[in-house]
Structure 1
Amino acid sequence: MKIKESLGSRVFDVFNTLLMLVLVVVMLYPLVYVFSASISNNALVASGEVLLWPKEITLIAYEQLVYNPDLWMSYWNTIRYTAMQVFLSLLVTSAMAYPLAKRWLPGRRIILLLAAFTLLFGGGMIPTFLVVQKLGMLDTLWAVILPSLVSTWYLFIMRTFFEGLPEELEDAATIDGCSSFQVLLRIVLPLSMPVMATIGLFTAVNQWNAFFDALIYLNDRDLYPLQIMLRNILIAGTNVQGEGDLSHLETLKYAMIMIATIPILCVYPFLQKYFVQGTMIGGIKG
């Protein structure tokens, strides 16, 4: 039997559809514009004549970037920073969240309160810099990775997810002779792919777009990530080699934005099936 929709329901559906279409246009227009500007004539882009579609198509900006060794070095740095950050962050966060999900853990409430305290108060930029300096991590990849390795918010989401897993599965694994680490590795983590994928995606996006830590901790140009190179072009107004050639600066800016953005956008479709499930389960249970 088909249920007849009310007038209010139909009006809501129409309004909701129109709103979604507007949001799609608002989100897609910047991407289309940036791509069009990156392959258009530099003078037309600088004069504001390129509004949506490219004009006088040219790939000279991409040619300058592709043949520049700084781009590939910064790309490699960003990839390894992001990969190590995601792997270590998921490893450490899950190792901390799993015992905190157990009510029998001694001092559990105190640890949770101390962790929650860091959500409201941080050490500050200068004390953090001094800690990194005293540990001898300046001009190393660890200066970019370790200070932001564990997010308290992600820790609480993962802990809440672990609390919702059936305890019978862990009890059965323990009876079969598994240690706590084996239970985590063989039972809990395989069942936690939605929240792991979601937190991994958020961590990867944050690290891929990060530049401030590298800006204050790194002096060696060979360690600069992609975002530092992007910053130098967008803000400092210099080209990637620092030679002062500004003849294609406008299209160079947009081409660099496209090169820096596309890889991380391509990751999302592969994790989409876990994304909604991970955020919902980790956010509402507990």
Structure 2
Amino acid sequence: MSQDWDSRIFDFVNVFLLITFTLIIVVPLWNIVISSFATGQTLAKGDFVFLPDELSLDNYRTVLRDDSILRAFMISVAKTVIGVVTHVFFCAMMAYPMSKAYLKGRKVYSAMGITTMFFGGGMIPTYLLIRSLGLLNSFWVYIIPALLSYYDVIILMNFFRSVPDSLEESAMIDGAGYWRIFLQIILPLSKPSLATIALFNGVNQWNDFMTARLYITDRTLYPLQMRLYEIIVQSQTNSAQNIGTAVAQTTTKGVQLATIVITTVPIILIYPMLQKYFISGMMVGAVKE
């Protein structure tokens, strides 16, 4: 009887905590989404909006009429897609030979990679390096510096070690070279780990605005997150310049909220597609035999 009572208390506390944490997450998110559909008069009150008296698409019309926001959205999509594909490929291309014990100089390469995980040049030396490479005000500043992450290489290395050597030996007997084995055997078998790396890097690429903040002054190369940063700064200074054609029923805050929703939706849509690979990829990549 005592055990049943303890179990009920435990279940009650768990349910209470889960409901509390869910509300802490869901309520602010709901407020942002529903407020983006509110009119300027409703937002001007400054109250918490659970359900506005009148729904309006004026905030979204203002955002979509602004050519700079649409251009920034396309830049964000382009840098995320290209960045994820190149990052995953380069990490896998390095991880595959590093997963082989017979690779000459493997310990040296490993030590060099691990060093980059703990030590960096800092902001100013990195800026000087980017400038010397001619990447300032270039789209490729989003791609080239993010090509490799040794943390992701380690995850892929441990996954590649789980692939039976007999598969590669059979392919070599049939005349396949290392590139063909890597592209046609290793990569197709590594979808869970590759999807995990793609998810991590994709979220980082999509949410990144510091790269544009530090290395880009050409506004035509601004990603959506940098444009959102500008809108937030302008809203704090009560300035509506460079936001787009103003509509009577909109405010700077409304445009800001609509932009936040537009920025978040792509990640929310893509995440469920990769979630089935996420746990298996992390577990296989994290366990070292």
Does TM-score exceed 0.5, indicating one fold? yes
Q: How far did residue 258 of structure 1 move?
A: 0.3
Q: Quote how far apart the aligned CAs of 1:73 are.
A: 0.6
1:254 corresponds to which residue?
257
Superposed CA deviations along residues 28-52 of structure 1, whole A, max 9, x for unmatched, are: 2222110111111334324332342
User: How far has the Cα of 1:222 moved from its partner?
Assistant: 1.1
Counterpart residue identity of residue 283, structure 2: M
1:231 lines up with 2:264 in the alignment:
no
Query: How far has the Cα of 1:13 moved from its partner?
Result: 4.9
Root-mean-square deviation (Å): 2.1
d(CA) in 2 for partners of 1:184 and 1:212?
A: 34
1:77 aligned residue (75, 78, 82)? 75
Instruction: Kindly state the Cα deviation for residue 15 of structure 1 after the two structures are TM-superposed.
Output: 4.1
TM-aligned CA distance change 1:16 to 1:172, over 3 Å: farther
The answer on 1:269 being equivalent to 2:267 is no
2:102 is equivalent to residue 99 of structure 1? no
Query: 2:24 — aligned with what?
Result: 26
Aligned to 1:280: 283
Report the Cα distance in structure 2 between the residues aligned to 1:19 and 1:177, rounded to whole angstroms.
59
Number of the residue aligned with 2:138: 140
Contact 1:205/1:264 (8 A) holds in 2: yes
Task: Give distance in 1, aligned partners of 2:10 and 2:195.
Answer: 33
Distance in 2 between residues matched to 1:100 and 1:36, nearest whole Å: 50
Q: Aligned partners of 1:10 and 1:185: how far apart in 2?
A: 54
Correspondence for 1:37: 35
CA distance in 2, matches of 1:184, 1:229: 40
Tell me if structure 2 keeps the 8 A contact 1:70–1:240.
no
1:201 alignment partner AA: L
- Kindly indicate whether the alpha-carbon contact (under 8 Å) linking 1:229 and 1:240 is maintained by their aligned counterparts in 2: no
Letter matched to residue 79 of structure 2 = Y
Partner of 2:174: 176
The structure-2 alpha-carbon separation of the partners of 1:282 and 1:240, relative to structure 1 and needing over 3 Å to count, comes to farther
Counterpart of 1:3 in structure 2 is none
- Distance in 1, Cα, partners of 2:95 & 2:269: 29
Which position in structure 1 is the counterpart of 2:196?
A: 198
Q: Distance in 2 between matches of 1:18 and 1:177?
A: 62
Q: 5+ unaligned residues in a row in structure 1: which ranges?
A: 1-5
**Does the 8 A contact of 2:65 with 2:245 survive in 1?**
no
TM-score, with length taken from structure 1: 0.91
For the structure 1 residues 218 and 81, does the alpha-carbon distance in structure 2 shift closer, same or farther, using more than 3 Å as the test? same
1:72-131 CA distance string (max 9 Å, x none): 111111111001100100110000001110000111111111111111111111111111
Task: Compute the displacement of 1:155 (Å).
Answer: 1.2
Tell me: CA distance 1:103–1:240, structure 2 relative to 1, closer, same or farther (3 Å): farther
8 A Cα contact 1:35 1:258, kept in partner: yes
AA aligned to 2:51 is W
Q: Say whether the 8 Å CA contact 2:36–2:255 is kept in structure 1.
A: yes
Aligned residue for 2:185?
A: 187
Report if aligned partners of 2:39, 2:58 keep a CA contact under 8 Å in 1.
no
Deviation at 1:27, TM superposition (A): 2.2
| Aligned partner letter, 1:90 | V
Distance 1:79 1:249 in 2: 24
Gaps of 5+ in 2: none
The sequence identity of aligned pairs, in percent, is 35
> Which of 206, 209, 212 is 1:211 aligned to?
209
Q: Which stretch of the first structure deviates more once superposed, 23-32 or 119-128?
A: 23-32
Q: Is the 8 A contact 2:86 2:147 kept in 1?
A: yes
Tell me, yes or no, if structure 1 residue 126 matches structure 2 residue 129. Answer: no
Distance 1:109 1:55 in 2: 65
Would you say the 8 A contact 1:164–1:285 is kept in 2?
no
Cα deviation code 1:239-272 (max 9, x no counterpart) = 4725796960111111110011101110011111
Which position in structure 2 is the counterpart of 1:63?
Answer: 61
| CA spacing shift, 1:74–1:243, aligned 2, 3 Å | closer
Change (3 A) 1:165 1:10: farther
- Give the letter aligned to residue 241 of structure 1: N
**Cα contact 1:98–1:184 (8 A) shared by 2:** yes
Q: What is the distance in 1 between the residues matched to 2:241 and 2:16?
A: 43
